[in-house]
Amino acid sequence: MTTTTQQSRHARGVLAAASPERVTISFPGTDYRLILAVYQSPSTPVGKKINGSIRVQAKRVDVVRTGGKYIEPLDGTPRRIQGEVVASDTGENTLTVNAGVPIICKLTDARQRADQFRIGELVSFEVNPGASFTQALS
């Protein structure tokens, strides 16, 4: 069963740099410049708008009561994320978390399931290496 909100699962940014293995994307309205692995080079030229999905593998996810939305570090590969759950997919065992940009988080702790988290909860977690970006098809 999939639970979603109207919020998009696609991150919208500007392609700052690209190679066959990774991209750097900046996000207007934020200081984020995320470096993400790619499995296919993007078709968008550097300096142009790009959208697609950011995927990470989350270590243990904790519900938190205070704090805001953030990705650490601001410039580089994500290592820690905190944000609001905006969607969940129980079949894929993923949460989509708005941390300033939407990020799809695969739960890797066998004791946790996507259906244990509610839309609107503030969650925090560390990220396993390998954060990636897949460009949207349109």
How far is it, in rounded angstroms, from Cα 52 to Cα 39? 13
pLDDT in tens, 90-113: 999 999 999 999 999 999 999 999
Give me the number of domains the chain comprises: 1
- The pLDDT, as a whole number, for residue 137 is 82
Burial of 129 (0-12, 13-18, 19+ CB in 10 A): exposed
- The pLDDT, as a whole number, for residue 113 is 97
Quote the domain boundaries for residue 25: 2-135
- The pLDDT, as a whole number, for residue 9 is 82
- The pLDDT, as a whole number, for residue 7 is 52
10-residue mean pLDDT series, the chain (138 residues):
58 96 95 96 94 96 95 97 96 96 96 97 97 90
